[in-house]
Amino acid sequence: DQQVKQNSPSLSVQEGRISILNCDYTNSMFDYFLWYKKYPAEGPTFLISISSIKDKNEDGRFTVFLNKSAKHLSLHIVPSQPGDSAVYFCAASATGAGSYQLTFGKGTKLSVIP
């Protein structure tokens, strides 16, 4: 039973346009959400996070939106750049879960076309 779902395996966007990556979750106990970015042959790197007490968090070109009632979050990248081409993982954590272990989605491969 997948608790964190990223239903789009891939996404292609033109350089300069907006990229929107989506993530759904089923576990109501999740109260903290993170996005990680992964380049080939490297480990994932933290991108941005959001607590369940907020509905939006912004960091430069990256914004994460959280809709708790729909159990849905999205990552917006504006404007998209070729260097943003990578696999993006959505992850969730629950307060009190063993050392705040993360549950990951399967990832979305973003390709930004110059």
Partner 1 sequence: NAGVTQTPKFQVLKTGQSMTLQCAQDMNHNSMYWYRQDPGMGLRLIYYSASEGTTDKGEVPNGYNVSRLNKREFSLRLESAAPSQTSVYFCASRDRDRPFYEQYFGPGTRLTVT
- Which positions lie near partner 1, rule CB under 8 A? 4, 6, 9, 31-32, 34, 36, 41-46, 49, 51, 89, 93, 95, 98-107
| Residue type for position 112 | V
* Minimal distance, residue 6 CB to partner 1, in Å: 8
In this complex, which beta carbon is closest to partner 1, that of residue 57 or of residue 74? 57
The tokens for 60 are 């430069």
In this complex, which beta carbon is closest to partner 1, that of residue 15 or of residue 74? 74
In this complex, which beta carbon is closest to partner 1, that of residue 4 or of residue 13? 4
In this complex, which beta carbon is closest to partner 1, that of residue 44 or of residue 75? 44
Do you find a cis peptide bond into 44, omega within 30 degrees of 0? Answer: no
Q: Which of 76, 85, 72 is nearest to 6 (CA)?
A: 72
The tokens for 85 are 């081409």
Report yes or no: 92 and 35 within 8 Å, Cβ to Cβ. no
